[in-house]
Structure 1
Amino acid sequence: MLSVSKWGVVAATAVSLAALAGSASASHDPYSLDRVMGRGHTEVIRLTSTSTGTTVVDNGASGPGIGDQIIITANLFRNGVGYGTEGAVCTRVAAETTLCSGTFSLPRGQVSWQHLKTSPIGTPPSDFDIAITGGTGAYATVRGYARVARIAESGGALALYLLH
């Protein structure tokens, strides 16, 4: 197994360690889904997460490089109460770029996401957005994005902006 710094894992998997912040709101949203995507009901979900596992797979040449993967699992909480789980896989596609996809399994269904992020290895990424790519159950027709507001080894901040 590849030895990678905690920050390297965090940088590649920020969403998986994210905690949803209480400071974001749809009214202060610079990418208002109602404006961008037309009419619909916007639901904002804020959660916190606790990592339950991280595995780094050293693919290809020995050491950090293209093709390496990071697999993450996390427990999700809403207002301090258990609210679901998350699973994600990030693959290094360039020297400092990862392509990540994952799913939040929530009480009313699942929400899938994806993002491409470039940040220096070993440096946690700053604020960024991820694309909501689909869902199941109550989220079967959902679209939108999630805003990752802060990152740390122990967690971060994330708000899901979902248009139904």
Structure 2
Amino acid sequence: MRKTLLAVTAGLGLGLIGGSATLGSTELTKPGTIRLTTRGLAEQFVDRAGPGRGAGDMIVIRELLYNKAITRKAIGHAELVCTYTGEFSRQCNGTFSLPRGKIVVAGALVYRQFYVLAVVGGTGLYDNVRGSLTVTLLERSPRRDLVFFRLIV
């Protein structure tokens, strides 16, 4: 009887520990979307290939991220580094830093008015996410974009 009671108590204890670990999970558990707007902070062109745009030139982009449905203040920031592979085409890598983690994107683009990049991972709440990021220009000066993440886990 005593061994049975000890086994049941141990089983319940392990169940509570395991249950609390999953309840406090800090990762996404199902697909979702995130809709934000951006405001450009800085863009720096690095001319590495001689006069004009060409393969090897770079552009570094910094933006503030907003979700006006929650607050009027910025909720995060984004940093992208794009390397030109031709006069207009470029290969970009970026990180979107949000309150509960970071989302990492990568891909090729030609026009910044509308483009799609792959979501290749993340940290925190976004650990191991995949999906896509769609960016649409809203305003040229100051630069504002609509960013829409489609995330899967």
TM-score, with structure 2 as normaliser: 0.71
> What SS does structure 2 have at the residue aligned with 1:94?
coil
Unpaired segments of 5 or more residues in structure 1? 1-39
Structure-2 change in CA distance of 1:81 and 1:45 (3 Å)? farther
Of 128, 142, 149, which aligns to 1:141?
Answer: 128
Give the structure 2 partner of residue 8 of structure 1: none
C-alpha distance in structure 2 between counterparts of 1:150 and 1:72, whole Å: 14
Larger deviation, residues 59-68 vs 69-78 = 59-68
Give the structure 1 partner of residue 73 of structure 2: 81
Unpaired segments of 5 or more residues in structure 2? 1-28
C-alpha distance in structure 2 between counterparts of 1:95 and 1:47, whole Å: 30
Structure 1 segments of 4 or more deviating over 4 A? none
C-alpha distance in structure 1 between counterparts of 2:45 and 2:55, whole Å: 13
Give the structure 1 partner of residue 99 of structure 2: 107
Q: Which has the higher contact order (CA 8 A, sep 6+)?
A: 1
> What SS does structure 1 have at the residue aligned with 2:85?
strand
> What SS does structure 2 have at the residue aligned with 1:138?
helix
Matched, 1:51 2:72: no
1:31-84 deviation line (CA, Å, top 9, x unaligned): xxxxxxxxx611211111111111110002222211111001111111233210
Give the structure 2 partner of residue 129 of structure 1: 116
1:10-44 deviation line (CA, Å, top 9, x unaligned): xxxxxxxxxxxxxxxxxxxxxxxxxxxxxx61121
C-alpha distance in structure 2 between counterparts of 1:59 and 1:50, whole Å: 27
AA matched with 2:144 = G
C-alpha distance in structure 2 between counterparts of 1:129 and 1:118, whole Å: 10
C-alpha distance in structure 1 between counterparts of 2:58 and 2:88, whole Å: 13
Give the structure 1 partner of residue 150 of structure 2: 161
% same residue: 31
Q: Number of matched residues?
A: 120
Matched, 1:67 2:56: yes
AA matched with 1:103 = T
Q: Report the structure number with the largest CA radius of gyration.
A: 2
C-alpha distance in structure 2 between counterparts of 1:94 and 1:60, whole Å: 11
Matched, 1:152 2:139: yes
C-alpha distance in structure 2 between counterparts of 1:43 and 1:83, whole Å: 18
The CA RMSD over aligned residues, in Å, is 1.6
Give the structure 1 partner of residue 110 of structure 2: 118
